Amino acid sequence: MHEVIWHGRGGQGVVLAAQILAESAYMQGFKGVTSAPTFGPERRGAPLTASTKISETPIRTFAQIEYADIAVVLDPSLLKVINILGSLRPGGLIIVNTPLKAEDTGIDSGRPIAVVDGAGIAFRHHLIKEGAPMVNTPLLGAFARAANLVSLEFIEKGLKWKLSSTVLANNLSALRDAYEATRGSGLEN
């Protein structure tokens, strides 16, 4: 089973990203998928997490993730606020929304890191809500590139399943842009 934690803030589309990944993985052929928000109340701007579990076989655990295989960080300011690495297994992949290069992020965990300028890409593709960039779709693109788990093709299908036609085109172009722009350990730049 592959366990993915999404770290973001209320209003960033964290829960939606976790759902779209689960749907995409199911369409790709994984028999077991779950997605869940942090249980409890949510507040705009407050740190929150969501999870996606992906498995070849139906999933029989609904417990919260103890050590994720992959952590996706939608808001890099959370790296200073939350012990994100503390809930990531040794060797687990961390994917960060940042304009910085991986080696300049200050994340020194010995784990593989992938970076993408999700906010920049969101602005370029007009994915803006109440003045803030919606970085969940760009980070799904980075996930497709860096995690080697759910392909870009099926994440595109996941977006088509979840998003309305009015916003779909911009999200698809942002997804592909982020896929190409993702840099990091083990990726051919």
Partner 1 sequence: MSRTEILTGNQAAAEGAKLCHIQVVSAYPITPQTSLTEYLSQAIESGEIKAEYVRVESEHSALSVCIAASSVGARAFTSTSSHGLLYMHEQLHWAAGSRLPIVMCCVNRGVGAPWSIFNDQQDSISQRDTGWIQIYCRDNQEIIDTLIQAYRIAEIVKIPVMVCYDGFVLSHTMMPVEIPDAETVDAFLPPYHAHTILSPEDPRNINPVTFPWRRADQDGVMCDGYMELRYKLQSALEAAGETIAAVGRDFAERFGRDHGGLLWRYRTEDADVILTGMGSIATEATMAVDALREQGIAAGVVGLRVYRPFPKAAVREAFRDAHAILVMEKDISYGYEGALCSDLKAAFYGTEISAPIHNVVAGLGGRDVKARELAEVTREILDRIAAGQPEGPTTWLNCRTDTPTE
Residues interacting with partner 1, by CB under 8 A?
19, 22-23, 26, 31-37, 39-41, 58-64, 66
Closest to partner 1 by CB, 59 or 102: 59
Compute the least distance from the CB of residue 58 to partner 1, in Å. 8
What tokens appear for 31 in the block? 């028999």
Nearer to partner 1 by C-beta: 79 or 150? 150
22 or 116: CB nearest partner 1: 22
Indicate the length of the chain as a whole number. 189
Sign of CA dihedral 142, 145, 149, 151: positive
Rounded-to-integer distance, Cα 120 and Cα 76, Å: 13
Amino acid (1-letter code) at residue 159:
L
Q: Could you tell me if 54 and 70 are in contact, meaning their C-beta atoms sit under 8 angstroms apart?
A: no
C-beta of 163: minimal distance to partner 1 in Å? 15
| Smallest separation, CB 23 to partner 1 (Å) | 5
In angstroms, the CA 155 to CA 187 distance is 19
CB of 16 to partner 1, least distance (A): 11
Nearer to partner 1, 22 or 72 (CB): 22
